[in-house]
Structure 1
Amino acid sequence: MYESERSSDSAGSGYVPPQDMAAEQSVLGAMLLSKNAIDPATDLLESRDFYRPAHELIFDVITDLSGRGEPADAITVAAELTRRGEIGRIGGAAYLHDLVQGVPIAANVDYYAEIVHEKAVLRRLVEVGQQVAQLGQSGTGEIQDIVDRAQKAVLDVDGTKSGEDYNVLSDLMSSTIDELEELETRSGEVHGVMSGFPDLDRLTTGFKPGQMIVVAARPGVGKSTLGLDFVRNASIRQGLTSAIFSLEMTGSEIAMRLLSAEAKVSISHMRGGTVNKFDWDAISRTMPRVMSAPIVIDDSPNMTMPEIRSKARRIQKEHGLGLVVIDYLQLMTSGKRVENRQVEVSEFSRQMKL
């Protein structure tokens, strides 16, 4: 038997808090089935987000094993639960295999996790509403203390795992001085990802980790070409892994543009079939250099930001990742109902930092 459900739906009321067992099972099944599903799930979820206590326990064990660098599949998780004496709490080892067998597609773990998270937020809203009502009805204590406790409970509803991402200015000064001293010793030389344009690099001293750079211009003036130039310089010149997520050009078109730029052969000649002997010689000399460059291209149509984030995480984990180019934001869709297109594109920009 599984460990009993949350007590909040008991007391004979018949009320069942918001939850989705199929989504919870699919998240856990995906995590057990593929190690690539663990990071996307743990990025969004905490163990408390699961309604069934058994699922909370399984999630904790998977993340614990993964954090220790050990495999986390149905066999290893069952062994760990047995070692802890808790295998009975989930219904036995067979339930883990049922989770693996029941997951539709492991690659969709982002969507399953989002459902679980939304249900968890709704449950906490109900709980917080009851807590705030009790605080107001009791009327005991200082009014400001009651308000503070209510506000704290409400702020914790979404379960966002952002941690303390704010800093007091004084805490930042030490690292800022260290950076200034490091820049002084380099005499202004570029120490980030170089763009390939010396004047720009002198102004920026290179693109830094965590930065989001938006290239904005009217249609047809070369935004995509500039992005590919950044990729060429990062991957071919500096050996950094670059990822191109293109919703406009196909992978073969991107490859042709990269080869054209690197070989200095007109793209119109390549497309028009008018490449001469000298052009072919230049292409032949350039081909090995371009082929060996650590560039990953994804031209999947209708990509969403969660998909891009998940893929970028996998690329980072498998190859390292120095630069991400998305071409381009206006072609992306969220798959959700939004107030207007401007709000949707603004949300993409907000989610861009991986």
Structure 2
Amino acid sequence: MDNTNKNTANTLSKFKQSTKHKGQPTLEYGKVPPQALDLENAVLGAMMLEQYAVNKVIDILQPDMFYKQAHQHIFEAIKTLFGRSEPVDIMTVNQELKKTGNLDIVGGSYYIMQLTNRIASGANIEFHARIIQQKYIQRELIRISSNIIKDAFDETTDVLDLLDKAETSLFEVAENNLRRSAVNIEDVVKEAIANIEEASKHEGNISGIPSGFHRLDNLTSGWQPSDLVILAARPGMGKTAFVLSLARNVAVDYNKSVALFSLEMSAVQLVTRLISSETEISGDKLRKGNLTTEEWSQLNTNISALNDAKLFIDDTPALSIFELRAKSRRLKSQHDIQMIIIDYLQLMSA
């Protein structure tokens, strides 16, 4: 009898129940994934009762955020109607579900009607929607963690690839779910005034990060936080040479941390060009190693500044947006980078 109970317990402990909709984690050891079915009912019911409720939460929620598959289809129908600027109510949602062939899947017209009977008002719908979003994020984190654990036990998995995959997955969850909302202009004015006061403390006209090119700095006041600056020119006009000089000036002359992502040239090629500029020895001589004794001495003396520079070069080819974001965040946390340079944007993968 004891052995039977022990076997039964072992079987139950290993039980996993797969789910029907995409992205939902498995049930393991009797645990139920985070969910809020009552709030899902309340939100969908309120959206079919009051138009303002739709406007409040339509940009907060996505179909996959609902735990119950029927609720995913209903919200998809509401979102489709909203996108076509059509009324959202029991009848229109019913018709849209019938058109897509999902009415029977969600439980028929009776279930749609029951959703509206369970809600008296949509007064707290935004708060309820945020909770649904939080539960979805928790489920996503469980799913990602489970995948990471599974891959970590696989001896054939490359550890660095696994780290990148983990960071990318986590940042993807943050990117897709933690969006900024509209802010009151009063708060923005206060932030702008604080920035102006901070800029007034700087000497000269430079309030941002200097480029080392004085005429350019006079025009831009230095590179400002959150600025996206695109350098465009025909091939062979010196774009890479310019950004290399810029990166060198910021890292060496102003002691700021810079990240340089090179999708075309290798890190060694870029550094060789920097050495050529720093030592005033031609790149051709450096490639051939055909240096005189004086040039060797000049080389060893002048590269000391580059050795101490806070310049970080990543030459990963076909870098994706998510990989760039993950690597940049890591460099920011570890080295407090102040500038990111990408050479060049067209070589990035989607």
| TM-score normalised according to structure 2 size | 0.55
Equivalent residues in 2 for 1:148-187, closer than 5 Å:
160-186=176-202
C-alpha deviations, 1:151-185, integer Å up to 9, x for none?
x97xx799933444433333322232333344345
- Give the match for residue 19 of structure 1: 23
Identity of aligned residues (%): 26
User: What is the SS of the residue equivalent to 2:211?
Assistant: coil
* Paired residue secondary structure (1:195): coil
Instruction: Give the drift of 1:186.
Output: 3.7
Q: Label 1:321 to 1:187 Cα distance change in 2 as closer, same or farther (>3 A).
A: closer
Alpha carbons of structure 1 residues 286 and 184: separation in structure 2 relative to 1, 3 Å: same
Matched, 1:136 2:90: yes
- Looking at structure 2, the residues matched to 208 and 53 of structure 1 have their Cα atoms a distance apart, in angstroms, of 49
Taking structure 1 as reference, are residues 307 and 164 closer, same or farther at Cα in structure 2, changes over 3 Å only?
closer
Rate the CA distance shift 1:122–1:230 in 2: closer, same or farther, 3 A: farther
| Equivalent position of 2:296 in the other structure | 280
Rg larger in 1 or in 2? 2
1:127 partnered with 2:97: no
Q: 1:298 aligns with which of 314, 319, 344?
A: 314
1 CA distance for matches of 2:193 and 2:315?
42
Cα distance in 1, alignment partners of residues 297 and 34 from structure 2: 61
Deviation at 1:3, TM superposition (A): 10
What do residues 287-332 of structure 1 show as CA deviations (whole Å, max 9, x unaligned)?
A: 2211121211111222211111111111112222111111111111
Provide closer, same or farther for how the CA distance between residues 166 and 264 of structure 1 changes in structure 2, counting only shifts above 3 A: farther
1:84-233 matches, cutoff 5 A:
120=64, 127-130=71-74, 135-137=89-91, 138=113, 160-186=176-202, 188-233=204-249
How many pairs align? 234
Unaligned runs of 5+ residues in structure 2 are 1-12, 36-61, 79-87, 92-112, 137-172
Q: Is contact 2:257–2:335 with CA below 8 Å preserved after alignment?
A: yes
Q: CA deviation at 1:212?
A: 1.6
- Shift in alpha-carbon separation, 1:124–1:333, aligned structure 2, 3 A: farther
Give unmatched runs, 5+ long, in structure 1: 10-15, 26-51, 58-117, 335-354
CA distance in 2, matches of 1:197, 1:126: 60
Cα distance between partner residues in 1 of 2:72 and 2:89: 10
| Residue 125 to residue 235, structure 1, CA distance change in 2 (3 Å) | farther
Residue 81 of structure 1 is matched in structure 2 by none
In structure 1, the partner of 2:277 is: 261
Identify which of 322, 332, 337 aligns with 1:316.
332
Is the contact made by 2:21 and 2:69 (CA closer than 8 Å) also made in structure 1? no
Q: 1:119 to 1:236 in 2, by over 3 A?
A: farther
Q: Over the residues paired in the alignment, what is the CA RMSD in angstroms?
A: 4.2
